[in-house]
Structure formats: C-alpha cells, structure tokens
Structure 1
Amino acid sequence: MRGLWPLRPAIDRLKTQLLKRSWVVHTSHYCNNLNRDSMDLNHSSSITIPVSGTIPNASNSVGDRKPIALWPGIYHSPVTTALWEARSKIFERLLDPPKDAPPQSELLTKTPSQSRTSILYNFSSDFILREQYRDPWNEVRIGKLLEDLDALAGTISVKHCADVDSTTRPLLLVTASVDKIVLKKPISVDKDLKIVGSVIWVGRSSIEIVLDVIQSSEGGSETSDMVALTANFIFVARDSKTRKAAPVNRLAPETEQEKVLFEQAEERNLLKKKKRGEKRDFESGEVNRLKALLAEGRIFCDMPALADRDSILLRDTRLENSLICQPQQRNIHGRIFGGFLMHRAFELAFSTSYAFAGLVPCFLEVDHVDFLRPVDVGDFLRFKSCVLYTELHNPDQPLISVEVVAHVTQPELRTSEVSNTFYFTFSVRPEAKATKDGFKLRNVVPATEEEARLILERMDADSMQ
C-alpha cells in the first residue's frame, strides 16, 4: 500500500472524472436539448430537468370542460377523485349549475339504501395507497381519515338530494357539524379498510349521515367486532342562488335498524333545539367547584414556588399554528374543505397531547363540532390549542381532553372570528407507557374564571355522554 501512495492523487482525479461522467449519463435522458459534446467536465454546467403533472388523463378535456381529475378536491385524498368519478354526472351539475334554472319543484321520498355508499382501501395490495395513509406507528393516519369521512358524507348528502329533473338548479350542501367520531380499535394500514355510510335522518333542510369504518380482525367474526370507528355528520342544504335554507328530499326508513337510527337521530335533534340559545347558570354546588379550581390556579399565579408540582396552568399547555388557505384546499363550492380543517385541527391536538404527556398519544374520539363560519380561499386561519383537563381515574387509560379553536383573522379589518371549535380526547399508548416507570399525567388548572367555566362545561358535557 505504501508503494502506491505516490499514485493516490492521480487515482483520486480519475475517480472524480468517472463520477462526473456517471452523473452525465444518468441525467442526460432528462435533457433532450443538452449537447453532450460541448459539456466540459472542468466547468459547472446548468442542467434543466423538466417537470410534468402526474395526474392521469389531465389533457383529455372535452371542449371547455375540465376533466374530473382537475376538479377541486383532488389534492386532499385519493378518495375524493374516486367518489367524483363514480358520480360524475351529479357533480358536474354542482360544478357548473344551469344558469337561471328553477329550484326543485317537488320533493322526493328516498330510502337510506338509495344514498348508501361504500369505499374500499386496498391497503393489502396497493403499496402506494398504503404509504399515503401510513403513520409512524404503522396505523392509518387519523387526520387523513377525517378528510375522507367528510368527503364521503358530502357525496352521500348529494346523492340523497339529487333531483331526477336535470333542468333544476342543484342545492348547495355544506358540513354543519360533526356530532361524534369514536375510535373503537386501532386501524392497521396493512389490512384492507372499508367505509360504509348512508342517510339516517332528515329535517326540513338538514341531513344526518352515519359512517362506519370497518376492518376485519383476527378472531372477530361478528360485524360489530369489525367496526373500528363510527362517525355522525350533519349537512345543511342552501339554495345555490339565494343562499337561504332549502328543503331536502324526505327519508323513508325500511328496515327495523333504519327505523331505530331515525328515531334516535330525531331525539338528538329535539334535544339540540331545546338546548339551543339556553345560557347555562351555575348552581351553588358548581360555584363551589368553580372556586376550588380558581383557588388552585391562583397559587400558581401568586405563589408559584408553593404550587402543586403535579399540576400545570392551562395557559402553559397551549400550542398554535397558522396558515393561508390555498385554492387547492377548496371544495366543489369554492369554500375550504371541512375535512381539511378537521385534519389540521387533529394534527395540532395530537401534537399538544404529545407535548403535554411526554409520551405518544392514542386518539379516542372527536366530540361535537360546529362549523360556525365558512372559510374561504385566501383567509388567514389560526389554530389555537390547549389541554382542558385530564382524567386519571383509570390508570390503564388516562384521558387527555384537548380543545382546538380555529380563528379566521382579517388583519386589514383588525378582526378575528371563530370558525370552528374542536374537542378531542386522547389517551397514552400502552406500549409507550410501559417504557416509562412512574408515568403520571398532570392536572390542569385555570388562571381565570373564563378558563374555569370552560373546564367545568367540558367535564360535564363529557360525563353526560
């Protein structure tokens, strides 16, 4: 080896030249106009690599009509494109409604089976799809699944409201609220997944849709054992021209199960109407709870050295992020896709829970969500999160309640309005907890009366479910 040392500089120069020549060979097929003979390896050369769209058949448009692959929503999920392809005729009318068309003249009566729609994820055989949905723990990304649930619920509402008369103007359907989303078992990304949904109840202008996420498990032969997640969405109909509430087609349940679901939804709707507009007054017992919470928080503010080390102020659990809403995030009506908002809120809530617990969280459920204000392209959207409270009664499954509030901010007008408030519940992954001896979650205490009231209201709302 020592005898070869004088040759080392020449060998290194030869390696460099071979590497440069190899780079030229591997990149030259991207550069049709590149003159190989004029390339000087002793000087830096500018290489242009052309980039083209990966959407199939994007150029196959008919006249002025865009292909379905370029409609709004493609950037959210493969599910959106698949749903629109399957019902292209209905969605074309929504994308380009007839001008000056009259509203639907006569309401139809439809059955839940007429709106029932299912989608299948071939995770076991489709590697690309599997990678799009995989999270770091080899489970399905819940945030992306929330997007898909909203997209499927929207498709089902459109199917129910579709008019047989193609000359009438279609309704504008928007997500009004999410009643509940509950995860019943972890969802693997290695097994095929199915989502089934249908309309279970309608009011004058509102529609309730139930969705079941189904995945078979070893040893689980019953259908109920296969349901991994359930979700209830409420959509409302608006006249696409006047933007006022519009009546929707009626619903006629057929099976006993459909009739039970209809009655349960009817009871929930009546209870919501009863509670709507009611202002809660704290009774004497609750006032004492309020004072006790504030007393503990006051110690943190006034005598932090004497505060309970197993507690933390609510304001110290906060996280925040913001974004400008882009055209790629809009739905077919030009507004920001509700599923996108849920996705972003979930990601922040997950991060908040992670930072608070110090261990990987496990999602359990989304509580009732109201979509109070539409979000438009170009809006400045801010998400603010905090841990509201923890429950430590069950050491095997401690609970973390996280609130995420989405604000539409308009700096020019110096205004900020709440568009959505989300409530998520997490636990801690058992396998993560097993790696940390003496793990214990902190209690969350308020520093203001407003925070104390919010904590008590959420505690009571969760205990009633």
Structure 2
Amino acid sequence: MLRALKGAQKCLCLANKSFNLVQTKLRLNDAPTLAASMAVRHYSPPTHIKQSAVPNESGTMAEVKLEMMKRLGLEHGYQPLPKSREHLLKYQPKLEDLPTRAMQDSFTSAIIPLSTDPVLQDKYVTYLGNVRMGRLLEDMDMFAAWCCHKHVVVPQLPADVHLPYTFVTILVDRIDFTNTLASGTEDIRLSGHVSWVGTSSMEVVVWLEQKQNGKYQKLTRALFLMAARNATNTAASPVNQIQPANEEEKVILDGGKSRKRMRQLLCAQSIFKVEPNDPEQTLMYELYKRTTPSDTMELNKRILPPNCRWMSDSYQMSTIPSFPENRNHHNRVFGGFLMRTALEISWAAAVLYCKTRPKLEHIADISFEKPVSVDSFIKMTAYVVYTKLNYVQIMTVAEVLDPHSGNQVTTNTFYYTFAAPDTVTEVLPRSYHETMWYIQGRRKFEYSMGLKSN
C-alpha cells in the first residue's frame, strides 16, 4: 500500500488478553490438541461499546466507501495524475488542537449485504457456495481506515473543507479464524474501533461476523496498525489521543504499550536479522543428516527421505498486472488487493500440495514495506516452507517487476497456516537459504498455534 510512517514498527503485534484472546500452550505431537487450540481463540467487541448510546451503524460497505470518498474530496473516474490536495495542507491541525476521544466514539459497524444482492454474491462466493476470504480481507482493510475516519475529529476545520488526512496501512496483525464456515449468500457484519494511538499512528481492532440462523457468528478478528499522513501523503499528521471512557477501555489502552513492545520483540527475532538459536541449529544439523547419504564419499549428493517433498518443488507462482480498479486515491495499489491476491495464490499452493481442500486457520502477519504503483507487474510466489502433522505453513512473497530493467523489488511477505483433513507430506529444504525459510516458517507456525518457540 502507501509508504508507511517513518519510524513505525514493521513487525507484528501479539494480541493480548485485553481482547479476550485465549491461547493454550501445547505439545507439537498432539494433533487433536493442536486443532483444539485454534478453536478456543474467541473474542468479542467490548460490551460497553456495543451498548453505547453513540450511533455506530454505518450502513453497507459500499456506503462506507462513498462516505470516505466524500470526506476526502475524491471523485469517481481514473486520472493518470491524481487531483491535487495541496490546498488542504494549511488545514493540518496541531496535536494540541485535537480533542481527546473515547474508544466508543470510533466504534462502528457495516454490512456486506450478501443475502439481498445477487450481483454482490458473485464477487464473494466460491464454487462450493462458501465465501472468498480474500474478498473479506479487502473489506477489513477498508473498514479499518473507516474507523480512523470515525476517530479523527478536527474542530477548527471549516464545514466546507475536506478532511486534510490520508490513512495508510502499516501492518496487519495475526488473524485467527473460527470453525464457523462462512456462506457466500448470507450477510456479513464488520465492526471495530480504534484501540490505541501514538502521535500519528492508530491501532484498530476489526471483528468479522456472519448471520447464520438469525444470529451473528464470529468468523475472525484482526488488528490493523494505521498511519495518519497529511493530505498529500508527504508527512505524518497528529491524531486525537484516547481518553478511556471506563475501566474496560483503560485496560485495552494500557495493553497498547505491551503490544508495541511485542512488535519490537518479534521484529528483532526475525531469522532474516539474527542467526538461529541453539535448538534451531541442532534442528538444521538433523535436517542435513536426514538428507545426506551416510557414505561420506557422497557429500554433495542430497537424498529425499520417504514421504517427503523438496521445498524447491513445492511452490506456486503467478504474475499479474495491476489496473486502475485496484488503486487508492494516490494511484498506488490498494493494500487490500495485495492481501486478497496473496491469500488466493497461497490457498492454491496449499490445495495442490495437500491434494485436498485445506482450511485457512491463521494469517501470521502482513506488513507493507513499499508502495506499489498502479501500473506495476506483481509477482506472487507461494512456498510451502514448513509442515507439521496435518498443518501446512505457506510463505508468500510479493515482488514488483520492472518491465524495462528487469529488476525485482520485494514489497510484502505473507505467512498463512492451513489445516488439511489428514496428515500431509513433510516438506524439507535442500539448500541453506531454504533451511532459513524452514526455520522462519517453523517460528511462524509456533506463533500461530500459541506455542513458545525454542
């Protein structure tokens, strides 16, 4: 998506108890317990916010999109050079001019009316009648920006002047999915609010539910870290600070500091920044021994153990052009489009690897490292980097291709956990860099399962 706020942490926050996240630490050789751990992660909007007298219904997601365009002064129709918003820079407020806000002030909800709109159903339904999760990720990303609109209030802004802000996604935290099977023909509700703020950044929690048998059932919940930028997206802009309305909001806000520290910790522990720890180095040696002949005269030869597959043979790739319909108002590729595309190629890789239809259990983290121009060619490569019992860990890398120079620039890396009905073939690395991917995939898997890494 757009360039992230300078200095913002580009790693992912661990959901904590203030959102009622229940985690169970488990033994890796206990498949039923592993499956159970995924099912116990339930979380709901804070009770006091749902019962608040503050109006919180925003209509449909189509209406939300139109309202955001209206507030920002955007118009339909593609222009190679976006309409200038420089005249709004003089209206950028100072931090001390912004009143404090409570979480219940930004709480809102919106509907995807699948039950009454057959045309919309065609965009969301799979051939089995379920919902396309990639489409929902697009909506969640847009809805998180809408919560930012609900939070930011500029009292000195004249009524006839558009909002001098731009809201961009920095990262999306771990997303867990319940066992509820989402239908492609029933209404889906998004709800959320700003849960923590920095000087110019906002953490937004978004819930996704679907009406089944007259009652909304939980599908998933995610945390978005958003950056507030000025009207031209050239500098940071201050946001309203949070004054908790009650003890429940205070607990959530206090947890923001812990989540920030956890983001920093997870970022520092990346295998791409620090060497493997001692248990991981032992694992690497075991992998080497398993795939090397016992005959010392054949050191350059690698052997594949029974019921295993090489990582280099376990990937799927797709190169796609982006078009204006995938743009945001700065003619950059909409982050939700990248999220949807990455998820769908990852799902294809998981299906072809498992030879069956696995269930998406978890999305570990999504960070937006570089903006992607609307005229870009985007290469998505989904690698199977780790397996355990019936679980498959996918690492998907998004790269922008320059058709003139041939250069490739990595813009995003995504991690997905899928669960197959039966035990899957074990994937093994053949080279050193694949071994690093294996270790990173193992870490992401343990993180997604609520397990403590060695």
- TM-score normalised over the length of structure 2: 0.74
Instruction: Confirm or deny: 8 A CA contact 1:172 1:239 kept in the other structure.
Output: yes
Deviates most, 454-463 or 358-367 = 454-463
Moved more, 316-325 or 288-297: 288-297
1:21: which partner in 2? none
The 5 Å alignment of 1:451-462 reads 451-462=434-445
Query: Superposed, which structure 2 residues align to 1:351-370 within 5 Å?
Result: 351-370=348-367
Offset at residue 388 of structure 1 (A): 0.9
Deviation of 1:171 after TM superposition, in Å, equals 2.1
Which deviations, in whole Å up to 9, do the C-alpha atoms of 1:109-150 show, x marking residues without a partner?
112222222111333333333333111222111011111111
Structure 2 partner of 1:259 = 250
- Cross-structure match for 1:381: 378
Report how many residues are paired.
369
Report how far residue 359 of structure 1 moved.
Answer: 0.4
Instruction: Please state which structure has a larger fraction of its residues in helix.
Output: 1
State the shift of 1:92 in Å.
1.6
Matching residue of 2:316: 319
* Structure 2 equivalent of residue 338 of structure 1: 335
Higher Cα Rg: structure 1 or 2? 1
Superposed CA offset, 1:192-212 (max 9, x none): 221111111111221111111
Which residue identity lines up with residue 82 of structure 1 in the other structure? E
Deviations 1:357-398 (A, max 9, x none): 000121111111110011111112111111111111xxxxx2
What code does the residue aligned with 1:146 have?
L
Q: Deviations over 1:288-308 (max 9, x none)?
A: 11111233344699656x532
Unpaired runs of 5+ residues, structure 2, are 1-58, 76-82
Whether the 8 Å CA contact 2:89–2:230 is kept in 1: the answer is no
Measure the CA separation in 2 of the matches of 1:386 and 1:296: 21
Matches within 5 A, 1:240-319: 240-241=231-232, 243-277=234-268, 279-298=273-292, 307-319=304-316
SS of the residue corresponding to residue 110 of structure 1 reads: coil
In structure 1, how many angstroms separate the alpha carbons of the residues matched to 2:391 and 2:145?
A: 31
For the residue of structure 1 that corresponds to 2:115, the secondary structure is coil
The one-letter code matched in structure 2 to 1:202 is V
- State yes or no: 1:442 paired with 2:425: yes
Q: Which stretch of the first structure deviates more once superposed, 89-98 or 370-379? A: 89-98
The DSSP-based 3-state class of the residue aligned with 1:186 is: coil
- Mapped partners of 1:91, 1:143: distance in 2: 26
CA spacing shift, 1:295–1:196, aligned 2, 3 Å: same
Change (3 A) 1:284 1:240: same
* Distance of aligned partners of 1:297 and 1:215 in 2 relative to their CA distance in 1, 3 Å threshold: same
1:119 to 110, 118, 129: 110
Which residue matches 1:390? 387
Deviations 1:40-80 (A, max 9, x none): xxxxxxxxxxxxxxxxxxxxxxxxxxxxxxxxxxxxxx965
Q: Report the more deviating stretch, 258-267 or 352-361.
A: 258-267
Displacement, 1:327? 1.3
- Which of 182, 196, 206 aligns to 1:201? It is 196
Aligned in 2, Cα 1:242/1:384: closer, same or farther, shift over 3 Å? closer
Kept in 1, the 8 Å contact 2:72–2:163? The answer is no
Structure 1 contact 98–168 (Cα < 8 Å) conserved: no
User: What's the C-alpha RMSD, in Å, of the aligned pairs?
Assistant: 2.7
SS of 1:136's partner is coil
8 Å Cα contact 1:182/1:364 also seen in 2:
yes
Residue of structure 2 aligned with 1:214, choices 185, 194, 209: 209
- Aligned partners of 2:208 and 2:150: how far apart in 1? 20
**SS of the counterpart of 1:406?**
strand
CA contact (8 A) 1:101 1:169 kept: no
Greater shift in the superposed pair: 244-253 or 94-103 = 94-103
Q: Is the Cα contact below 8 Å between 2:291 and 2:305 reproduced in 1?
A: no
- Structure 1 residue ranges without an equivalent (≥5): 1-77, 393-397, 434-438
**Whole-Å separation in 1 of the counterparts to 2:74 and 2:404:** 36
Write out per-residue CA displacement over residues 309-364 of structure 1, whole angstroms, 9 at most, x where no aligned residue.
31111110111111222111101232110000011001100000010000012111
| 2:73 aligned residue | 92
Partner-residue secondary structure (3-state), 2:73: helix
Tell me which of the two structures has the higher relative contact order, counting C-alpha pairs closer than 8 angstroms and 6 or more residues apart: 2
Asked if the contact 2:395/2:441 (under 8 Å) is kept, the reply is no
C-alpha distance in structure 2 between counterparts of 1:377 and 1:462, whole Å: 33
2:137 aligned partner: 146
Q: From the superposition, tell whether residues 189 and 267 of structure 1 become closer, same or farther in structure 2 (CA, over 3 Å).
A: same
The residue type equivalent to 1:211 in the other structure is V
Rate the CA distance shift 1:120–1:422 in 2: closer, same or farther, 3 A: same
CA apart distance, 1:232: 1.1
User: Match for 1:405: what amino acid?
Assistant: V
Q: 2:391 aligns with which of 396, 399, 411?
A: 399
Corresponding residue of 2:412? 420
